[in-house]
Structures are given as structure tokens and as C-alpha cells.
Amino acid sequence: MDLGSINWLAVLVSAVSAFVLGGIWYGPVFGKAWQRMEGVTDEDIQGGNTPLIFGGAFVLNLVMASSLALLLQLHPAPGLGSGLAAGGLLGLAFIATSYGISYLFSRKPLTLWLIDAGYMVVFMALMGAILGAWR
């Protein structure tokens, strides 16, 4: 795997796309349900350290996008479809299952897991599609 052959603009765009998806997912689509299940109020959200939360999330998205770009180098003929499949599989097989284990032990509701794990699977698939198509 070669860091020099990564399309860093694609990494940046895929990280931004996941960030935008999160705003939609945890905003108008599932925001209120997520808040209710997590016990988070609008005041809690407004009182948080926004630069730290959003800045940290974006940096972590960059780490995931960079790592996925490295893994996609192993594919002999990467493209949109293979990137989508690889990202979705990684999201499902590693992230969603990790959340599932944690949520079982912390006794969080299935619906909360579906919201959080679903976001991770969709955003990893989106990242993979962008990175695969833009290689």
C-alpha cells in the first residue's frame, strides 16, 4: 500500500460527504428520535463544545476515509461499485457489529442501534463509492 498513490482530494471529499450525511441523518431524518433515546435535549446540544465535537468528528472522518483509501488499493480494479461494496461491508462487518456488542451490554434500544449503525454503514458505503470511483 502506497500513501503516495492515494487521491487526497477524494479522501477530503468523502470525509466532507460523510459529515454532510451526518447532518442530514442526525438532523431532519432521525435527529429527534436519536435525541429521545439518548436522553439529549436541544439545550444539551447547544451547550456542547461545538468546535471540539465537529472538529473532532471531521478529523476522525478523515482518518476513516484515508484508511479506506489505503484498503481500496488492494483491489485489482477499484471502481464505484467495488468501493461501495467494500465500504458497506466494512461498515456492516466491523462498525455496526462493534456498536451492536456495546449497545447490548449497555442495554441501549435496538432502534438506537439501527440509527447509529445504519448511519455508519451508509456513510462507509458512500465514502467507498467516492474513493473507488475517483481513483
What confidence score (pLDDT) does residue 98 get? Answer: 98
Question: Worst-scoring range by mean pLDDT, 35-44, 91-100, 115-124?
Answer: 35-44
What confidence score (pLDDT) does residue 5 get? Answer: 84
Average of pLDDT values for 80-100? Answer: 97
Q: Binning pLDDT at 50, 70 and 90, where does residue 77 land?
A: confident
Long-range contacts, stretch 56-63, CB < 8 angstroms, 24+ apart:
57/19, 57/22, 58/15, 58/19, 61/15, 61/16, 61/18, 61/19, 62/11, 62/12, 62/15
Kindly state the percentage of the chain with pLDDT values over 90: 87
Whole-model pTM above 0.85? yes
Please give the mean pLDDT across all residues of the chain. Answer: 94
Residue spans of the domains in the chain: they are 3-20+50-133
What confidence score (pLDDT) does residue 1 get? Answer: 63
Question: Worst-scoring range by mean pLDDT, 73-77, 108-112, 126-130?
Answer: 73-77
